[in-house]
Amino acid sequence: MEEKIIKTEYSEVMQKSYIDYAMSVIIARALPDARDGLKPVQRRVLYDMHELGIKYDKPYRKSARIVGDTMGKYHPHGDSSIYEALVVMTQEFKKGLPLIDGHGNFGNIEGDGAAAMRYTEARLERITQEAFLSDLDKDVVDFIPNFDETEKEPGVLPAKFPNLLVNGSEGIAVGMATSIPPHNLGEVTDAVKAYMLDETITTKGLMKYIKGPDFPTGGIVTNKDDLLEIYETGAGKIKIRGKVEIEKGKAGRTNIVISEIPYPMIGANISKFLMDVAALSESKKTQDIVDISNQSSKEGIRIVIELKKDADVDNFVNMLYKKTRLEDTFGVNMLAIANGRPEVMGIKEIIKHNVDFQFQVAKRKYTTLLARERERKEIQEGLIKACNVIDLVIEILRGSKDRAMAKACLVEGKIEGIKFRSKESKIMAAQLCFTEKQANAILEMRLYKLIGLELEALINEHEETMANIYRYEDILDRRDSMAQVIINELDAIRRSYGKKRKTVIENVAEAVYVEKKVEEMEVMFLMDRFGYVRCIDLAAYERNKEAADSENRYVFSCKNTGRVCIFTNTGQLHTIKVMDIPFGKFRDKGVPIDNISNFNGEKEVVIAAASQMSLNLYRMIFVTKTSMMKVVDGGEFDVAKRTVAATKLAEEDEVISVVVLNDQKQIVLQTGEGYFLKFGVDEIPEKKKSAIGVRGMKLNNNDYVEQVYFLKSGEGQTITYKEKEIDLQKLKTAKRDGKGTKIRVS
């Protein structure tokens, strides 16, 4: 067969392929449907459990069986994603209304993961069966082929309430993400009823019923006034706090008890919260904490912080709100698939999509039920009629040679070949005109149906069927009747599964935390050869001065309110607040400097102290390997960032010296080849930190500045260069950008 090569633009192929991939992720993986509030994997898990018969009143089945069956039939994307979806649908602390009843270890609120699927078991919750799956046999939704077209699966489940609002949803697609908070089932059903009774109702009107999100973890929403805009636009930020209670502790102390946490704190963030509180004590932000304990159990969250007797409790609680995740933000972006495309919707649009879907489902359901009742009516009428002429029917059956002959007589009155006892029977038989279905029912009728009570039951059943037909026709003909049926179902769901609201909705003023002023004191900064840093008090340094100077690379005094500045060879400046450096005893190990700063993998040129929080009191002299130099005002480094670019460097250049300009009068540059150049510091111009600077001395090819020395007025300085002592004061003073003098060593 001859090959056919299609030439096309590579960028067009990439663009089309990426768009196809993106749409597949958006529509078929990551985003929920506005109608049933489920992602495809969740819908497939629930439908597979329904198909397997794992109902709420049946025994639990292994999760591995459910996952394997779902993957093999409907969701060929790996077992981990299926099991994760199953686990989340069982967790009461994540879902306002769990859809699966889990048996075994399905994780907990503190972030411990679920056990492997071979150890856990699951079955459907009762509400899932009643509100999502019970009507699937009534042709209420379209079934679509699965991935290999060997099975059929529902394109959507006939949810009887807006599950998208009740359980919320989170998902990341390509170029978009959804984040919908959970809400109270009772409030949502009330809002749906209000919308059905008045479709012109506003979002503000709906909020008389839906007060706000209702997180499974409780908590307090603090920006009630922002909710209207969030619910109208479908996007915004909800501020939520944990619930704090004050209890009396031992020995007159006060206990801060956290009984509810913000929803975003679920999981590992609880342990991070405990670490953050401990860090506040270690960093001396507060000295009020005596003990922290996590006493949480199956009964609920209980985190206890024991405070000192004289602690300012209100200020401490405000500090927790400001400095930890006890007050957090839930970003709302109510994005879902509506009419086959992703759309950000407010609560009214979400309710509208669900209500429209409810009417579609109800129409299909009662159309199917009406057809079934009409079929039953036809058969019942045939049986009643047959009972009235039962003797004739028996005579026809006894006189016929086969089933086909008897059926032809019952349907069309054909009497040829049938033996009758009398002419009257023959004449009556010729007048019979049962329908096909009636004739089949008569032929399959058992003799006990001829008992008087059975006949009476058949007549009663027919009357019930006629009543159902009348009711279904009324529901299909009148929208009000259909609406009332939907409202009745919502009321039943609310009565059976409604719960009290857990989250409090109110307007709360922003927490004001007054940080206690730290008493300013002089401390000694120590950094050893391994990069571990610590601060000690002056008295401890004086007692161990000799050991401190010999064991550490950097030793200098600084204020505890100041900052330590690290200038590196790559031209970066890293600043560390002295308060962030551990303060302790002389023999304490300290912490690695890169743990408390962004300094990592670079070579420090100098580490110096800024005695004030501001650097604008200093002027810095920079010298690089290629002899570029400048003076920079320290105010340029006085920024909030912990890391800034201290200078601009040419390619392959690096900083070799950074010095605070005080009373230095002269500078001496020494190169690797032994050239020395001495000139006045006043020849170095002041430049911006973004400038490269000016050349200090002319260098030979492959030569570089190796050392920089500074001389003060009237002070001599002797150095040793290759075992030769050189008095820098006796060097000839020249001009900047000269060649310098070569020191010859015999």
Determine whether 175 is exposed, middle or buried from the number of CB atoms within 10 Å of its CB (0-12, 13-18, 19+): exposed
Tell me what the mean pLDDT of segment 716-725 comes to. 85
Residue with tokens 């007692």: 543
User: What are the percentages of helix, strand and coil residues in the chain, rounded to 5?
Assistant: 40, 25, 40
Please, are residues 215 and 503 in contact by the beta-carbon 8 Å criterion?
A: yes
Considering only CA atoms, which of 614, 738, 604 is closest in space to residue 683?
738
Question: Residue 607 above 80 pLDDT?
Answer: no
> Do β-strands 504-505 and 220-221 pair in parallel, antiparallel, or remain unpaired?
parallel
Considering only CA atoms, which of 95, 123, 77, 79 is closest in space to residue 38?
95
Backbone angles phi and psi of 716, in degrees to 5:
-90, 160
User: What pLDDT was estimated at residue 10?
Assistant: 76
**What is the rounded CA–CA span in Å between residue 442 and residue 700?**
116
Say which CATH superfamily domain 31-159 falls into.
Answer: Topoisomerase II, domain 5 (3.90.199.10)
User: What pLDDT was estimated at residue 188?
Assistant: 96
Query: What pLDDT band is residue 608 in, cutting at 50, 70 and 90?
Result: low
**What is the rounded CA–CA span in Å between residue 500 and residue 212?**
13
Question: Residue 518 above 60 pLDDT?
Answer: yes
| Percent of the chain scoring above 90 in pLDDT | 47
Tell me what the mean pLDDT of segment 696-711 comes to. 91
Fold classification of 526-742 is Neuraminidase (2.120.10)
Question: Residue 210 above 90 pLDDT?
Answer: yes
User: What pLDDT was estimated at residue 355?
Assistant: 95
CATH 3.90.199.10 boundaries in the chain: 31-159
Top-confidence residue, 572 or 618? 572
Top-confidence residue, 369 or 600? 369
CATH 2.120.10.90 boundaries in the chain: 526-742
For residue range 579-597, list pLDDT tens digits in order. Answer: 888 888 888 888 888 888 8
Q: Active-site residues: which are they? A: 119
For residue range 731-740, list pLDDT tens digits in order. Answer: 888 999 999 8
Q: Which CATH architecture describes the domain 356-496?
A: Orthogonal Bundle (1.10)
Tell me what the mean pLDDT of segment 174-194 comes to. 93
User: What pLDDT was estimated at residue 614?
Assistant: 55
User: What pLDDT was estimated at residue 25?
Assistant: 67
Handedness of CA 4, 9, 15, 16 (dihedral sign): negative
User: What pLDDT was estimated at residue 616?
Assistant: 65
Considering only CA atoms, which of 47, 26, 33 is closest in space to residue 357?
33
Query: What pLDDT band is residue 28 in, cutting at 50, 70 and 90?
Result: low
Q: Which residues contact 69 (CB under 8 A, 6 or more apart)?
A: 48, 52
Query: What pLDDT band is residue 613 in, cutting at 50, 70 and 90?
Result: very low
Q: Which residues pair with 239 in a beta bridge?
A: 329
Query: What pLDDT band is residue 513 in, cutting at 50, 70 and 90?
Result: low
**What is the rounded CA–CA span in Å between residue 568 and residue 649?**
12
Question: Residue 178 above 80 pLDDT?
Answer: yes
Q: How many CB atoms lie within 10 A of CB 208?
A: 12
For residue range 403-461, list pLDDT tens digits in order. Answer: 888 888 888 888 887 888 778 878 788 888 888 888 888 888 876 666 665 778 888 88
For residue range 458-500, list pLDDT tens digits in order. Answer: 888 889 999 999 999 999 999 999 999 999 999 999 999 999 9
Question: Residue 517 above 70 pLDDT?
Answer: no
For residue range 79-115, list pLDDT tens digits in order. Answer: 999 999 999 999 999 998 999 999 999 998 888 889 9
Tell me what the mean pLDDT of segment 494-510 comes to. 91
For residue range 328-379, list pLDDT tens digits in order. Answer: 999 999 999 998 899 999 999 999 999 999 999 999 999 999 999 998 898 8
For residue range 674-703, list pLDDT tens digits in order. Answer: 999 999 999 999 999 889 999 999 999 889
Residue with tokens 């300012």: 312
Backbone angles phi and psi of 576, in degrees to 5:
-130, 130
User: What pLDDT was estimated at residue 77?
Assistant: 87
Secondary structure (3-state) at 457: helix
Instruction: Just give the CATH number of 243-325.
Output: 3.30.1360.40
CATH 3.30.1360.40 boundaries in the chain: 243-325
C-alpha dihedral (421, 427, 431, 435), degrees to nearest 10: 10
Lowest-pLDDT choice from 181-185, 270-274, 601-605: 601-605
* Average pLDDT of the chain, as a whole number: 88
User: What pLDDT was estimated at residue 591?
Assistant: 86
User: What pLDDT was estimated at residue 642?
Assistant: 81
User: What pLDDT was estimated at residue 78?
Assistant: 87
Q: Which residues contact 87 (CB under 8 A, 6 or more apart)?
A: 102, 106, 107, 114
Question: Residue 176 above 90 pLDDT?
Answer: no
Please, are residues 334 and 168 in contact by the beta-carbon 8 Å criterion?
A: no
CATH 1.10.268.10 boundaries in the chain: 356-496
Tell me what the mean pLDDT of segment 135-140 comes to. 92
Query: What pLDDT band is residue 605 in, cutting at 50, 70 and 90?
Result: low
